[in-house]
Amino acid sequence: MQLPLKNIIFDLGGVLLNIDYYLTEQAFKELGYHNFTAMYSQFTADEIFGNLETGKITPQEFYTKMQGLVKESITEKQIQWAWNKMLLTWRQNSIGFLQKLSLKYNLYLLSNTNAIHLSAFNDIFYNATGNNQGIDFLFKKAYYSHKINLRKPNKDIFDFVVKDAGIKPIETLFIDDSYNNIETAKKMKFKTHLLLPGENIEELDYEKY
């Protein structure tokens, strides 16, 4: 028997925030990181980026490690600029829809991110809305990979959220734009939806889950 939907877990980038990985890839290539695609993408992260997104290294340590990879003299500001280049605009209609959705479901956020991006997309949110709280207030709880030291698509991050939030996967819908993350959630019996390019959360039929 299919249990009714009680909870929804949202990814951030590509779901609530428009992002373009290509812009960051090109920006780093301009700085001399010609193998950047092997270092980081929507689906993969090497040791440096993986450690940044799980909070194992600080932004300062990240900048230092990145500076050591190229012969050119690269500043921290240049690396920050390239890394943040992918962050575009919030999906305002989707953000507004969350408030409506929260009247019926428990909403959570689960994002692979890092301290540099968190600061940047909170600034984007403030500039767009005048709200300096960021988006955390829209959820019962926001889980950021660098704060809980775990990262999607690994099973342990889903285990952490289930235990911490006190929810059941079979009563929870997980929405993400990355196939790898969806596959892990499916294996754990979450209801899932892979958000495709051009698709928005306010267009989904939540009654069917």
Within its chain, how far is the Cα of 196 from the centroid?
Answer: 15
Structure token pair of residue 41: 């993408």
pLDDT of res. 1: 56
As given in the structure block, the two tokens for residue 12 are 């951030």
Distance of alpha carbon 150 from alpha carbon 156, whole angstroms: 7
End-to-end Cα distance, the chain? 12
Asked if the domains 7-18+90-208 and 21-84 are classified in one and the same CATH topology, the answer is no
Torsion, CA 187, CA 188, CA 189, CA 190, rounded to 10: -110
What are the average pLDDT values for consecutive 10-residue runs of the chain, which has 209 residues?
88 97 96 92 89 97 95 93 97 95 97 97 92 91 98 97 98 97 97 96 95
The matching CATH number, chosen from 2.40.128.260, 1.20.1180.10, 1.10.3470.10, 1.10.150.240, for 21-84 is: 1.10.150.240
- Burial of 133 by CB count in 10 Å (0-12 exposed, 13-18 middle, 19+ buried)? exposed
Predicted local confidence at residue 131, as pLDDT: 87
In this structure, CATH architecture of domain 7-18+90-208: 3-Layer(aba) Sandwich (3.40)
Residues with Cβ < 8 Å from 89, sequence gap 6 or more?
Answer: 17, 18, 124, 128
In total, the chain counts a number of residues equal to 209
Cα distances from 109 to residues 8, 76, 145, 208, in angstroms, run 8, 29, 11, 21
Nearest to 59 by CA among 139, 121, 115: 115
pLDDT value of position 54: 97
Report the pLDDT value the prediction gives residue 3, as an integer from 0 to 100. Answer: 76
In what helix (H) or strand (E) does residue 88 lie, and over which residues does it extend? strand 87-90
* Extents of the domains making up the chain: 7-18+90-208, 21-84
- The DSSP H or E segment spanning 90 is strand 87-90
Cα–Cα distance measured from residue 169 to residue 110, given in angstroms and rounded to the nearest whole number:
14
